[in-house]
Amino acid sequence: MLLTITYTRQPAADLGYLLHKNPSRPQTFDLSHGQAHIFYPEVTDERCTVVLLLDIDPLDLARGKRGSAAGGLFDYVNDRPYVASSFLSVAIAKVFGTAMTGRCKDRPELAAQALPFQAGIVMLPCRGQTAMIRRLFEPLGYTVGAEDYELDEQFPQWGKSRYFNVTLTAAVRLQDLLRHLYVLIPVLDSDKHYWIGEAEIDKLLRHGEGWLAGHPERELIIGRYLKRKRNLVDQALNRLLPDVSAAEEEAGQLPEEEAEDKRSLNEERLGTVVAALKSAQAKRVLDLGCGEGKLLALLLRDKSFEQLAGVDVSCSALERAKSRLKLERLSDLQRQRITLLQGSLTYRDQRFAGYDAATLVEVIEHLDPHRLAALEQVLFRFAKPHTVIVSTPNKEYNARYGLTASDMRHRDHRFEWTRGEFAAWATRVAECYGYSVRFMPVGAADPEVGSPTQMGVFTLWN
């Protein structure tokens, strides 16, 4: 297992200071399943390369540690000693731990700067094509080079191997490079050699600080890093995502008068949702991305809604919902009408089944666009309520708020759609899953750009 890091700014030997590893002295570190060796094959003024060579003991992996009663981690014949995997991450943290924190006694100014680095990872496993490697590293600013192999040159019909030699080139801070590698190598590989528990969330968030929350693949990264253990993934997302509610986000930093307008837009929107639910004669309603529970509070007041559930990924939003709804003070009868659930809308969840209607009020724009496909499955394919109501900002209207074409209404929005874009998405989803959809503008319509909020009401064909 081989990782190289090349630094190309003069004097390149500064890499030794940055890594706290003297270029003229090879070093060896003991790890729980082998050894890590550090040496510099190239040290000139222009280029300096360090190698982290990981020597995993395959017998130890297969049989368990010498003298220990515990069995091995893997079968005898496996790729673990040879490929870049979670073992490499453990070695990076052990050997370059200080550099990962950004500390550098001798060259602190260098540690704080983005510098020209190239990392080479030999035998990086990646199911699927190199597209996945690009999806993970390119948003972080890397130029990705990947070399692939035939499984066997004599038998081209066997196809390509799932291992790649990858080079990543960027101007980054060294600590960021190391933290990106630490998190993303095991995301690309599918096996982790250690037990995944809550401590892994801390590690992920610590090493993901400053880049993971804004990464377009954050959910995929978190899902794979935590091996898709749903409660851990939910907890991680909850800790990572900012708390927002539609009313709050719209009022934002606006002058009092406009903020007032937007608060009333929020009320109008919720009123429209309640009316649409009533006209669909929904009795059991699931509010997805319920935030602090404003819609649920309205629904609770109306006896025609017999069973209500609110779902959010954010625990603190749910805490606020609990106090807004005064759950603790409700009579037993009322209390049985409502449930709050922590969960993510992009993971299939049995608890979402059995409702007449589901609402997503100003929620979809908080999901990364490519996660919408997961939401579609979770909601329209598996939960499959009779009615689905989705509201989202109409991007065309942003000009009336004095925003430019590239601005979004809130910093956590992953996208905002024009009326045409929303209609195209909604129509495709409706067709695909057997629903019809009609559109309802919310808020005073401008002749040119339409209403500030757009809403789609989906009804299942029976």
Q: Which residues of 10-21 are buried (b: 16+ CB within 10 A; e: fewer)?
A: eebbbbbbbbeb
413 sits near ligand SAH (criterion: CB under 6 A):
no
Q: 178 or 220, CB closer to ligand SAH? A: 220
Q: Which is nearer to ligand SAH, 49 or 387 (CB)?
A: 387
- Residue with the CB atom nearest ligand SAH in the bound state: 291
Name the segment binding ligand SAH (CB under 6 A); options: 46-54, 66-74, 149-157, 361-369.
361-369
Binding-site size, ligand SAH (CB under 6 A): 21
Q: Is 15 in the site for ligand SAH (CB under 6 A)?
A: no
CA atoms within a 13 Å half-sphere pointing along the CA-CB vector of 233: 19
Closer to ligand SAH by CB, 61 or 363: give it.
Answer: 363
186 preceded by a cis bond (ω within 30 of 0): no
Q: Which stretch binds ligand SAH (CB under 6 A): 8-16, 189-197, 284-292, 331-339?
A: 284-292
Closest approach, Cβ 112 to ligand SAH, in A, equals 33
Yes or no: say if 13 and 23 are a contact pair by the CB < 8 Å rule. Answer: yes
| Contact between 286 and ligand SAH per CB under 6 A | no
Contact call for residue 383 and ligand SAH (CB under 6 A): no
Q: Which of 85, 272, 346, 387 touches ligand SAH by CB under 6 A?
A: 346
In the complex, minimum distance from the CB of residue 208 to ligand SAH, in angstroms, rounded to a whole number: 17
**Is residue 358 part of the contact set for ligand SAH (CB under 6 A)?**
no
Tell me, residue by residue from 303 to 342, as one string, x for binding to ligand SAH by CB under 6 A and - for no binding.
---------xxx--x-------------------------
Of 95 and 247, nearer to ligand SAH (C-beta) is: 247
CB of 2 or CB of 213, closer to ligand SAH: 213
Is 92 one of the binding residues for ligand SAH (CB under 6 A)? no
User: Does the CA dihedral 349-295-301-376 come out positive or negative?
Assistant: negative
Could you say whether residue 276 binds ligand SAH (CB under 6 A)?
Answer: no
Residue of 111, 246, 308, 429 interacting with ligand SAH (CB under 6 A) = 246
Please write down the HEC assignment for all residues of the chain. Answer: CEEEEEECCCCHHHHHHHHCCCCCCCEEEEECCEEEEEEEEEECCCCEEEEEEEEECHHHHHHCCCCCCCCCCCCCCCCCCCCCCHHHHHHHHHHCHHHHCCCCCCCHHHHCCCEEEEEEEEEEECCCCCHHHHHHHHHHCCEEEEECCECCCCCHHHCECCEEEEEEEEEECHHHHHHHHHHHHHHHCCCCCCCCCHHHHHHHHHHHCCCCCCCCCHHHHHHHHCCCCHHHHHHHHHHHCCCCCHHHHHHCCCCHHHHHHHHHHHHHHHHHHHHHHHHCCCCEEEEECCCCCHHHHHHHCCCCCCEEEEEECCHHHHHHHHHHCCHHHCCHHHHCCEEEEECCCCCCCHHHCCCCEEEEECCHHHCCHHHHHHHHHHHHHHHCCCEEEEEEEEHHHHHHHCCCCCCCCCCCCCCCECHHHHHHHHHHHHHHHCEEEEEEEECCCECCCECCEEEEEEEECC
Looking at the Cβ atoms of 142 and 355, the one nearer to ligand SAH is 355
Nearer CB in complex with ligand SAH: 192/410: 410
Q: In the bound complex, what is the minimum distance in angstroms from residue 404's beta carbon to ligand SAH?
A: 23
Nearer to ligand SAH, 99 or 232 (CB): 232
Regarding 250 and contact with ligand SAH (CB under 6 A), the answer is no
Figure out which of the listed residues 366, 395, 409, 413 binds ligand SAH, where binding follows CB under 6 A: 366
Tell me the closest approach of the beta carbon of residue 439 to ligand SAH, in angstroms: 19
Nearer to ligand SAH by Cβ, of 16 and 343: the residue is 343
Q: Pattern 27-56, binding to ligand SAH, x per CB under 6 A?
A: ------------------------------
* Residue number, 55 or 268, with CB nearest to ligand SAH: 268
Contact residue for ligand SAH among 277, 286, 363, 379 (CB under 6 A) = 363
Tokens linked to 129: 């094509």
- Beta strands at 387-393 and 435-442: parallel, antiparallel or unpaired: unpaired
**Cα separation values, 152 from 127, 162, 450, Å:** 18, 12, 60
- Map residues 185-224 to x or -, x wherever contact with ligand SAH holds by CB under 6 A: ----------------------------------------
- Contacts with ligand SAH by CB under 6 A lie at 241, 244-247, 289-291, 294, 312-314, 317, 344-346, 361-363, 366-367
